[in-house]
Amino acid sequence: MIDEQTEKRRGSFWRELPILVGVAILVAVLVRAFVLQTFYIPSPSMEHTLNVLDRVLVNKLVYDFREPRRGEIVVFKAPQQWQSGTEGEDFIKRIIGTGGDHIVCCDGQQRITVNGRALDEPYIYRDADGTPNAAADEPFNITVPTGRLWVMGDHREASADSLEHWETSQNIDEATIKADSIVGRAFTIFWPVNRATWLSVPPTFEGVPAPAPAK
């Protein structure tokens, strides 16, 4: 005897399979568009926090609920002056200062200061002999405009970042990026597996005071 109920369930599954696949694809597309996206690292500008060909997962939703914070690693749409010819290039850098921050290089120990607080930056790239890059290759003294961010690569000698564009232009708007140009926050390396780790904010940023009110 044929079990009609079983036959109906089997037929129903195959009829519904294309719908289930379509729903899964739609969910994946929506997640990628609005929530999470993967990026690979094409350059050495963030070594060795991020190495070439590392893959990171980016939270695209977080800044819909709060402002970007110092120390976070972010993917952003490069300003036109930063682009190398590929329209709409995505860059990845670390936020050093947000709107209103007074950033100076360097103090007596050759550290960058933000609102008078010196940053100890253990993430800065080190040569094979353990010698770290300088925090900056030239002195500077800037205030980040409201709504903009000062961003730098962890491999300071190999990064086209806010400092490089400040040195070439002396224009603070060209040297900073718009906060609303951020695609999202990179929060973990997921590939290769042996480098998988969370990209947390270094403790040195915790003690940075709020910027002084504008006069």
Catalytic residue among 12, 43, 60, 93: 93
The whole-angstrom separation of Cα 157 and Cα 123 is 14
Token pair in block for residue 166? 């400040």
The whole-angstrom separation of Cα 87 and Cα 185 is 21
Outline where the chain has alpha helix (H): 4-34, 162-169, 172-175
The residue type of 91 is F
Give the DSSP per-residue string, 92-118. EEEEEE-TT-EEEE--TTS--EETTEE
Q: Is the peptide bond before 106 cis (omega within 30 degrees of 0)?
A: yes
Asked if residues 73 and 197 have their Cβ atoms less than 8 Å apart, the reply is: no
Among candidates 160, 108, 116, which has minimal Cα distance to 139? 108
Catalytic residue among 8, 12, 43, 45: 45
Phi, psi of 95 (to 5 degrees): -75, 125
Note if 45 is an active site residue. Answer: yes
Phi, psi of 184 (to 5 degrees): 170, 180
As a whole number of angstroms, the longest Cα–Cα distance in the chain is: 90
Among all residues, which ones are annotated catalytic? 45, 93
